[in-house]
Amino acid sequence: MRIEKCYFCSGPVYPGHGTMFVRNDCKTFRFCKSKCLKNFKKKRNPRKTRWTKAFRKASGKELTVDNCLEFEKRRNVAVKYQRELWSKTVEAMRKVEGIKRKRQAQFIFNRLKKGKQLEKEEAISEVKKNIHLIKAPHAGKAKVLEEKMVQKLQEDVEMGDD
Amino acid sequence: KMALYNFKKIMVVPTSKEFIDITLSKTQRKTPTVVHKHYQIHRIRHFYMRKVKFTQQNYHDRLSQILTDFPKLDDIHPFYADLMNVLYDKDHYKLALGQINIAKNLIDNVSKDYVRLMKYGDSLYRCKQLKRAALGRMCTIMKRQKQSLEYLEQVRQHLSRLPTIDPNTRTLLLCGYPNVGKSSFINKVTRADVEVQPYAFTTKSLFVGHMDYKYLRWQVVDTPGILDHPLEERNTIEMQAITALAHLRSAVLYVMDVSEQCGQTLEQQLELFNNIRPLFANKPLLIVANKCDVKKISELTEEDQKIFADLTAEGISVIETSTLTEEGVMTVKTEACDKLLAHRVDGKMKGKKVHDVLNRLHLAVPAKRDEKARPPFIPEGARIGRKTMEVDAPKQYWDLMNQDEKYDVIPEIWEGHNIADYIDPDIMKNLEDLEKEEELKVKAGEYETDEESEDEEMQEIRQLAKQIREKRKLKIVCSKDKDVHGPRLPRTVKKVERKTLEKEMGDLGLDMTGKDDSHYAVNARRSRSVGVAKKRKREASVVPTSRTRSQSASRPPRDQSGVRDPKMAKQAKKLMKNQQKDMNRQGKKGEADRHVFDLKPKHLFSGKRKSGTNDHR
């Protein structure tokens, strides 16, 4: 019993779910749902279909090369059953999973950091260009100007007096 | 040559009565039937000549077809020629076809003569009699062919049922006494289903089966049994077997019955073998000692065993088989096939055609560079890999390191992951390395999310940006809502309400209180009065007509609606003229040049069509 991977979306195919297609050259393709199978029949490339894991890995949106990912891989050498090895493996799996999640999250966070920077700059430029839509450029200045003029007049009058 | 004749495609040969009926009825249907006395004589003659010629043509065509369909014994492969001779008697066959040919020629002559005579027929009655005579003679000729036609029909039926034996391909030929087990053998080796019965001469003709060996197609030919008497006394059935033996270049499998159940002793079988030995010249030979499940050679008497020993000594392989238990059948097959292949290859090598091919073949061997030996090299990794693939015989017990773990339930899946993918003897070491790496990373600060708390300025900027975006979207929505049908007028056409202006500017942050004597407010008051004055002026000058009276006074004419003052009116007029300048110069249609065409005027499309054309009625 094992959980296979869907050829198209790389999702898990649990036992009793999905379909398998066997080609004439004996290569098997498993699919988790009919959506994936239909896309496959339409000869779509999973590396170009945006919602699949294959696309995300191929376009660098997710962590691809890392030591923690090397733990889960299909080895073609059978290992004889030993109780302690198996139990240790389950423990190790737990820890590795934790580390893997942390690293994947960090990877995505780093990727999105640049976006935040750009957002900031955009807000600044927007305000600079279009501030006139919410605030007239000389709002509040009229009063100041008036006061200035009044002051100046007063000064002139005083000067005239003198 | 065989390709010219297809025995299954020979046309059906009708009986003479049928033949006559068909042809005459065809003449009746396909030629004109009506002729009168008062027609012109050449027309009458032509009518009857046509009938005679038509009948002759028909007979000629059909008889020619029969003659071409039936194979000429000289043209086909000698095997088939001989077989046909055996089955149908060559002389009889040739005679029948000859008779048909003669009949054809006679009919042609009859027709020629009578057509010639018809040229001198001077009345309808004479011509008709001549035609009657001609057709009658042709039909009599055909009646005389009754025997030949019947014979040919039978030949055709039998011919189409002959087995398609290709004389040039790889063939295995089974021969021997009746009831020795030839048909059982062919049933075992191929998909043929030949009748097997305990009486002699169950197989009365040749049968073919096909089998595959070494990716090639092989024919296996089953023959009727042959008895031991001289050639002249052989009947048709045996002769078929002899013909096959004589003409097919094949491997011969002489089947002998060791248990003597067929009714012949081994000596008699050996006698027959020696008698037909001349027919086996140049053919790979194999002796099949059948029915060995009943009696083995080792169980025979000394003399009988000597027979087989002699045969083996001569170089002919003897193989024991049993078609019942299938023992030895495959051995026979493989040996016979191999022998025949070797024989054929030898023959081809000695022939002339081989040199054509051999001359064009050249085996290139790389020349030795130096004396260094370069044996084939298999890398260690491949050797190791091969060893891991070696599977020992499955043991009855689980060979675990710790025996009391035998009854453990092995976990397979944990939280969506297959445990089998993680199993690795070095996993603990790898995990340690990974954890160390992780510690280092944490120390280096890779996981610290540096959320810069933004200063107030930045927050304010963000707030403003949000407001700006909202305002913009609102504006877009408003402008879409306006839903302007017709020409887009410039902004200045519409009068701006003082209220809206003050409100907008107030929203933007300017102080709009106390602006009663500002420029725009004064102008607003003035423009209203100008418009009213203009209206009164117009009413006085224009002569009152029904139209002007019907037009409501409160509705300004279109070139004055939306116009504040005479200055604006002048500008609007100027704009209008400017826009029209280009159009007028090019002579194109403008908005006012619209003409509605009456494409279907009622008076042309309604009412009865009396006199008049479609352009006017």
- Report the alpha-carbon distance of residue B214 to residue B335 in Å, rounded: 12
* B320 pLDDT more than 70: yes
Q: What is the largest CA-CA distance in chain B?
A: 157
**Average pLDDT across chain B, whole number:** 86
B583 CB within 8 Å of a chain A CB: no
CB B177 within 8 A of CB B262: yes
Contact, B189 vs B209, CB < 8 A?
yes
Position B46 confidence tier, pLDDT thresholds 50, 70, 90: very high
The SS3 call for residue B264 is coil
- Residues B78-97, mean pLDDT to the nearest whole number: 91
Q: Which of A116-125, B307-316, B371-380, B547-556 has the highest mean pLDDT?
A: A116-125
Exposed, middle or buried: residue A57 (CB in 10 Å: 0-12, 13-18, 19+)? middle
**Other Cβ atoms within 10 Å of B141 Cβ, number:** 20
Q: Which tokens sit at B397?
A: 């017990």
* Listed ranges A47-61, B322-336, B410-424; the one with the highest mean pLDDT: A47-61
Strands annotated E in B267-379: 285-290, 317-320
The 10s digit of each residue's pLDDT in B110-166 is 999 999 999 998 999 999 999 999 999 999 999 999 999 999 999 999 998 888 888
Higher pLDDT, B125 or B258: B125
- What percent of chain B clears pLDDT 90, i.e. is strictly above it? 32
pLDDT score of B617 more than 50: yes
> What confidence score (pLDDT) does residue B387 get?
81
**pLDDT the model gives residue B2:** 47
Output the pLDDT for position B545: 57
Which of A63, A73, A82, A109 best tests the B interface by mutation, with the highest count of B CBs <10 A? A82
**Strand stretches in B358-467, DSSP E:** 413-414, 417-418
pLDDT of residue B310: 85
Burial B224-234 (b: 16+ CB within 10 A, else e): bbbbeeeeeeb
Of the ranges A30-44, B86-100, B508-522, B565-579, which one carries the lowest mean pLDDT score? B508-522
How far apart CA A162 and CA A138 sit, in angstroms, is 35
In SS3 terms, B281-312 reads as: CCCCEEEEEECCCCCCHHHCCHHHHHHHHHHH
B-proximal residues of A, 6-45, CB under 8 Å: 12
Is A82's CB within 8 Å of B405's CB? yes
Rounded to whole angstroms, how far apart are CA atoms B309 and B297?
10
Select the residue of A82, A89, A143 nearest B422 (Cβ to Cβ): A89
**Statement: residue B539 has pLDDT above 60:** no
Alpha carbons B151 and B371: distance in angstroms, whole number: 81
Sign, Cα dihedral of B299, B300, B301, B307: negative
Is the CB of B410 less than 8 angstroms away from the CB of A77?
no
Residue A159 Cα, gap to closest chain B Cα (Å)? 31
pLDDT per residue as tens digits for the range A88-108? 999 999 999 999 999 999 999
Give pLDDT, residue B150. 94
User: How close B469 gets to chain A, by Cα (Å)?
Assistant: 9
Q: How many helices (H) and strands (E) does chain A have?
A: 4, 4
Q: In chain B, what residues touch A12 (CB-CB under 8 Å)?
A: 416
What DSSP element (H or E) covers A108? helix A83-130
B238: CB partners within 8 A, 6+ apart: B224, B225, B226, B227
Per-residue model confidence (pLDDT) at position B198? 84
Place of tokens 């002051």: A151
CA distances to A4, A31, A35, A76, B225 from A16, in Å: 11, 12, 17, 24, 63
Distance CA(B202)–CA(B204), nearest Å, equals 6
Restricting to A residues 123-142, those with a Cβ less than 8 Å away from any Cβ of B are 123-124, 126-127, 130-136, 138-140, 142
Q: Which of A70, A131, A143 sits opposite B511 (nearest CB)?
A: A143
Mutation test of the interface with chain A: which of B434, B439, B459, choosing the one with the most A Cβ atoms within 10 A?
A: B434
Nearest C-alpha of chain B: how many angstroms from A58?
Answer: 22
| Bridging pattern class, strands B171-176 and A28-31 | unpaired
Distances (CA, A) of B88 to A71, B70, B239: 85, 13, 12
Alpha-carbon dihedral of residues B262, B263, B269, B272, nearest 10 degrees?
-100
Is residue B141 within 8 A of residue B10, CB to CB? The reply is no
pLDDT greater than 90 at residue B498: no
Best A86, A94, A111, A143 residue to mutate vs chain B (most B CBs within 10 Å): A86
How many angstroms separate the CA atoms of B70 and B314, rounded? 46
Give the Cα separation of A70 and A90 in Å (integer). 16
pLDDT grade for B58, boundaries at 50, 70 and 90 = very high
CA distance A133 to chain B (A): 6
Question: Given an 8 Å threshold on Cβ–Cβ distance, is A72 in contact with B417?
Answer: yes
Which chain B residues are within 8 Å of A68, Cβ to Cβ? 434
Cα of B143 vs its chain's centroid, Å: 51
Show Cβ contacts of residue B62 under 8 Å, excluding neighbours closer than 6 positions: B19, B23
Could you tell me the pLDDT band of residue B529, with boundaries at 50, 70 and 90? low
Q: Tell whether A108 is within 8 A of chain B (Cβ).
A: no
Assign domain A1-62 to a CATH class.
Answer: mainly beta
How many DSSP H helices and E strands does chain B contain? 20, 8
Q: Using the beta-carbon criterion (under 8 Å), do A92 and B438 form an inter-chain contact?
A: no
Does A151 touch chain B if contact means CB atoms closer than 8 Å?
A: no
What value does the mean pLDDT take over residues B440-444? 92
Mean confidence (pLDDT) of chain A:
92
ipTM over 0.90: no
Looking at residue B1, its pLDDT comes to 42
Q: A88 and B508: CB-CB below 8 Å?
A: no
The answer to whether the pTM exceeds 0.90 is no
On the 0-12 / 13-18 / 19+ scale of CB atoms within 10 A, B389 is exposed
Which amino acid type is present at position B157? Q
Per-residue confidence (pLDDT) for residue B363, from 0 to 100:
87
Predicted pLDDT at B561: 84
- Rounded percentage of chain A residues whose pLDDT exceeds 70: 100
Give residue B610's pLDDT. 81
Q: What is the mean pLDDT of residues B495-502?
A: 86
